[in-house]
Chain A
């Protein structure tokens, strides 16, 4: 699967978590910041992490991944980086 396609699919799972619409989804790009632009809160991150795990398998654990990041890396986290983490965990 292309990175672009995977970004779209992980963003779609997040869209369901936060209850946003199609226009919101269309605005999400690989370089969209999870913290500064999508304004994700911890409970939304946890729900997104669960949804990703359900879709892509047990080795995908976004909460654990973020827990390993320092403050600047959390601020800089992009949707593309989340997709890369998912791809690594899903073994694709």
Chain B
């Protein structure tokens, strides 16, 4: 049996797919440990998963959009997070003696800890951000990111330059998407795309299922965790887009209490919703285009209207449009009338749903969490064999 150490980030979209893989490995009898904030991870991982606690530190806020968001993602988040978590990860490595580390592409401390301990590790691509190399046309931005990683390498007490891009393990790269969505790209040779890794989440017993009227069509509106001002403004426009559709559409808007004033009766506003349980009953999703939401919708054959904000979201939006599984709108400025037109097109034209289904079927064939676990077991077997079975 193998010993697997998970290193992720305190961000739901990053943790959820790895939580599904972790559950699969545990079910197969492997030893699994997570290094990270227990207060953050526990609700997502459930009571059984072992966690080596690393206190959560507040980092500088990230800019909301554009290249400013790219800059603050590194200087305000990835770099300081690596610095503050490396000691805790190293303690977990020393105590748990893992065979393999599973490292989110943006949790660079996990890569540093693996190098320091001389252990094999696998990169986990939980977003599309690094997979598609969006800055390949901006060499000075790429160079700036490489400088950040070199500085982290040095600050982690490692000599010389990083031997490779620290977002890409030389051993294995698992991506939680599929070529049916991404189209053909130049993947690293050790990359495997397993599709979305979905696992049942804690049930939401409060959700008013009786509110859903089977005679109407259902739309989920979810734009992730945004700054409140941005969300408030967008939701106001979404409500206006939906207002005249009450005869034929019900919508569930994910938003903090009180941020959507006086919604009409066919719009339900909830701070949290059981997304995976809702999916089979949905006709469309309006989303910011986070990879989790996009893949969860497509896995259920549900088409999307995507209003991307930052990071990998514009990339995911472009992919959804390219495969015909939805439309994209400009988050910053889309007005209610065109938004309504796009939403009705996605609801009324069966080609969107058909395209979403095709992607969903290929995701199912890609295997999800069990396929990821297979690759992680193969990685371990390969390493053990190369060492002549001398592992103790």
A68 neighbours in B (Cβ, 8 Å) = 140
Docked-complex contact A42 and B134, CB < 8 angstroms: yes
Known: A67-B137, A70-B141, A75-B66. A24 touches B333 (CB 8 A): yes
A88 neighbours in B (Cβ, 8 Å) = none
The answer to the question of A74 belonging to the interface, with a C-beta cut-off of 8 Å to chain B, is yes
The answer to the question of A26 belonging to the interface, with a C-beta cut-off of 8 Å to chain B, is no
B117 neighbours in A (Cβ, 8 Å) = none
B153 to nearest A CB, angstroms? Answer: 20
Select one of A19, A43, A67, A71 contacting B67, CB under 8 A: A71
**Given contact pairs A35-B67, A70-B144, A75-B67, a sample of 16 additional A-B residue pairs in the complex whose CB atoms are under 8 Å apart:** A19-B330, A20-B333, A24-B333, A35-B66, A36-B65, A36-B66, A41-B314, A42-B137, A43-B314, A67-B138, A69-B138, A69-B140, A70-B141, A71-B144, A72-B71, A75-B71
The answer to the question of A39 belonging to the interface, with a C-beta cut-off of 8 Å to chain B, is yes
The answer to the question of B68 belonging to the interface, with a C-beta cut-off of 8 Å to chain A, is yes
The answer to the question of B332 belonging to the interface, with a C-beta cut-off of 8 Å to chain A, is yes
Q: How far is the CA of A36 from the CA of B67 in the complex (A)?
A: 8
Q: How far is the CA of A54 from the CA of B362 in the complex (A)?
A: 41
B308 neighbours in A (Cβ, 8 Å) = 41
The answer to the question of B318 belonging to the interface, with a C-beta cut-off of 8 Å to chain A, is yes
19 A-B interface contacts by CB (under 8 A): A18-B330, A20-B330, A20-B333, A35-B66, A35-B68, A36-B65, A36-B66, A39-B66, A39-B330, A39-B332, A42-B137, A43-B314, A67-B140, A69-B140, A71-B140, A72-B71, A74-B67, A74-B141, A75-B66
Known: A18-B330, A71-B144. A39 touches B65 (CB 8 A): yes
**What residue of chain A has the Cβ atom nearest to residue B317's Cβ?**
A41
Interface centre among B65, B68, B331 (most CB of A within 10 A): B68
The answer to the question of B32 belonging to the interface, with a C-beta cut-off of 8 Å to chain A, is no
**What residue of chain B has the Cβ atom nearest to residue A77's Cβ?**
B67
Q: How far is the CA of A39 from the CA of B67 in the complex (A)?
A: 9
**What residue of chain A has the Cβ atom nearest to residue B66's Cβ?**
A35
The answer to the question of B258 belonging to the interface, with a C-beta cut-off of 8 Å to chain A, is no
Q: How far is the CA of A67 from the CA of B318 in the complex (A)?
A: 21
B contacts with A: majority SS: helix
The answer to the question of B180 belonging to the interface, with a C-beta cut-off of 8 Å to chain A, is no
Q: How far is the CA of A72 from the CA of B67 in the complex (A)?
A: 9
Would you give the 0/1 interface string for A42-72, flagging 1 where the beta carbon is closer than 8 Å to chain B? 1100000000000000000001001111111
Q: How far is the CA of A23 from the CA of B68 in the complex (A)?
A: 25
B144 neighbours in A (Cβ, 8 Å) = 70-71
The answer to the question of B70 belonging to the interface, with a C-beta cut-off of 8 Å to chain A, is yes
Select one of A18, A42, A67 contacting B139, CB under 8 A: A67
Q: How far is the CA of A72 from the CA of B68 in the complex (A)?
A: 8
Q: How far is the CA of A61 from the CA of B138 in the complex (A)?
A: 14
Known: A67-B139, A74-B141. A42 touches B68 (CB 8 A): no
**What residue of chain A has the Cβ atom nearest to residue B308's Cβ?**
A41
B65 neighbours in A (Cβ, 8 Å) = 36, 39
Q: How far is the CA of A75 from the CA of B333 in the complex (A)?
A: 20
Known: A20-B333, A39-B332, A41-B314. A63 touches B137 (CB 8 A): yes
Would you give the 0/1 interface string for B117-156, flagging 1 where the beta carbon is closer than 8 Å to chain A? 0000000000000000010011111001000000000000
A85 to nearest B CB, angstroms? Answer: 16
A53 to nearest B CB, angstroms? Answer: 16
A54 to nearest B CB, angstroms? Answer: 20
A79 to nearest B CB, angstroms? Answer: 14
B330 neighbours in A (Cβ, 8 Å) = 18-20, 39
**What residue of chain B has the Cβ atom nearest to residue A72's Cβ?**
B71
A71 to nearest B CB, angstroms? Answer: 5
Docked-complex contact B333 and A71, CB < 8 angstroms: no
Docked-complex contact A70 and B140, CB < 8 angstroms: yes
Q: How far is the CA of A5 from the CA of B137 in the complex (A)?
A: 30
A66 neighbours in B (Cβ, 8 Å) = 138
A15 to nearest B CB, angstroms? Answer: 11
A69 to nearest B CB, angstroms? Answer: 6
A35 neighbours in B (Cβ, 8 Å) = 66-68
Q: How far is the CA of A69 from the CA of B135 in the complex (A)?
A: 12
A16 to nearest B CB, angstroms? Answer: 14
